[in-house]
Amino acid sequence: VTATHSLPLTPLSSHEGSVVVHNILEEQKQTLQQGAMPSVVFTIPKLAKVGKTKELLDQEGIAYDVKNTTMTDWLTYSMIKEDQALAKVYVCKKTGKILGADFLTIYADQWINLLSLAIQLELTTEQLTSVHYTYPSVLGDSGNVLPIK
């Protein structure tokens, strides 16, 4: 049970509980910093999302770029013969910061954790793609999923 309008997820409710306990016991109060809470549907393939949706970005009037990517032909996915591997990433036109993402792939949980980190730390696509990852690997493909400003 959660008192916020966010998703009823165990990691979030544990965080909310910690803030409540702190505010009951301590004089200096904390506010709840939810950041970008990732969510995953553990099906085959997995479906994951984090951050803002197209609808919310349009409603808030935020100018953004979106990159839709089909990844099935990439080595990481062709090695395991995955027939569905899709990504959609929203990036702020003004700042290059990642705003939201959706993934449908067996590796969606890994992708969404990376982009949740990027959203929470307000990383730009340039910063995220400047990191060296192993290849072939899921994150080794990150430069191909992110729109570069």
Residues 108-146: tens digit of each pLDDT = 999 999 999 999 999 999 999 899 999 888 888 888 888
> Which one has a higher pLDDT value, 4 or 1?
4
| Residue 25, CA distances (Å) to 15, 19, 28, 78, 117 in order | 16, 10, 9, 54, 30
Between CA 143 and CA 145 the distance in angstroms is 6
Non-local (6+) Cβ contacts of 93 within 8 A are: 63, 64, 65, 149
Provide the pLDDT for residue 143.
Answer: 85
* pLDDT above 70 for 11: no
* pLDDT above 60 for 7: no
